[in-house]
């Protein structure tokens, strides 16, 4: 309690402490963790200084919280339903929107000139790092309350996502079958990002490149490529 009081009213980082409490509802005890949340590897090279490790931890904690929430919310749904809905909630687009709406990137310290291809993911990555910091600082239960109250009941409409058809591959395959054309997903690039495998997939229809997609798994990258192809072809209304 003394540490939390000091951080909020006497610390040189009291503005950061107030910001974290406003977002999470938690008075931070370990301010060093939260400073690290907003230190990107493009500017802070050492693992002990940047937010990559917190991001990795936060990704796992968020996944567990969301899975637990959906398991309890839908007691009679099968595994496939929960897996698909979880992926809609924790996908990069959703997390980036959450991070942006919380204003996390505005606090992030990074080299803008070196962030050409990953800047769009900064919001989601920083949000995951924040979850990692909250988990270490306050524990799983407090982190879960933060995610449930501020995110799943505030920034993301789970019921709306349940009704959203995000299986873009099925939709593009449906179109291809009707048109009598062929489709192919090719790995255009495979690289390391945040020390994890990262894929760029190119979608071709009858040998012609239509769109590409990216992700930390081939499945995610293929879904993103299919989504971009649907937009490029003007097929947003296509359903199975």
pLDDT tens digit sequence for 115-128: 555 567 889 999 99
Is 157 noted as a catalytic residue in this protein?
A: no
Taking 70 as the threshold, does the pLDDT of residue 10 lie above it?
A: no
pLDDT of residue 155: 77
pLDDT tens digit sequence for 81-138: 787 788 778 888 888 889 988 999 888 887 766 555 556 788 999 999 999 999 999 9
- What is the C-alpha separation between 29 and 171, in angstroms, rounded? 48
Taking 50 as the threshold, does the pLDDT of residue 240 lie above it?
A: no
Quote the mean pLDDT of the chain: 83
- What is the C-alpha separation between 34 and 36, in angstroms, rounded? 5
Q: Which residue in this structure is represented by tokens 């917190």?
A: 54
Which one of the listed residues 55, 59, 137, 222 is annotated catalytic? 59
Which is more confidently placed, 170 or 119?
Answer: 170
207 phi and psi angles, rounded to 5 deg: 85, 0
The highest-level CATH class for domain 168-232 is alpha beta
Contact 205, 186 (CB under 8 A): no
Which one of the listed residues 121, 128, 214, 222 is annotated catalytic? 128
Domain assignments of the chain as residue spans, ordered by start: 2-163, 168-232
Is 59 noted as a catalytic residue in this protein?
A: yes
pLDDT of residue 13: 65
Mean pLDDT within 143-150: 92
pLDDT of residue 12: 61
Architecture of the domain spanning 2-163: Orthogonal Bundle (1.10)
């Amino acid at each position: 309690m003394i540490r939390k009081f000091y951080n909020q009213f006497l610390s040189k980082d009291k503005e950061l402490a107030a910001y974290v409490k406003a977002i999470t509802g938690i008075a931070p005890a370990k301010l060093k963790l939260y400073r690290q949340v907003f230190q990107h590897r493009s500017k802070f090279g050492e693992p002990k200084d940047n937010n990559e490790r917190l991001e990795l931890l936060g990704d796992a904690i968020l996944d567990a919280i969301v899975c637990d929430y959906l398991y309890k919310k839908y007691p009679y749904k099968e595994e496939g339903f929960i897996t698909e809905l979880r992926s809609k909630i924790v996908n990069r687009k959703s997390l980036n929107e959450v991070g942006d709406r919380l204003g996390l990137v505005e606090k992030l310290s990074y080299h803008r000139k070196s962030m050409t291809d990953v800047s769009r993911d900064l919001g989601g990555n920083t949000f995951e790092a924040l979850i990692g910091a909250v988990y270490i600082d306050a524990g799983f239960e407090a982190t879960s309350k933060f995610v449930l109250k501020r995110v799943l009941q505030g920034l993301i409409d789970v019921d709306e996502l349940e009704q959203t058809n995000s299986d873009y591959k099925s939709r593009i395959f449906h179109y291809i079958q009707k048109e009598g054309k062929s489709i192919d997903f090719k790995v255009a690039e495979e690289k390391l990002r945040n020390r994890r495998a990262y894929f760029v997939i190119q979608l071709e229809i009858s040998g012609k490149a239509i769109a590409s997609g990216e992700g930390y798994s081939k499945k995610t990258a293929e879904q993103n490529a299919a989504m971009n192809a649907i937009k490029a072809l003007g097929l947003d209304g296509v359903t199975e």
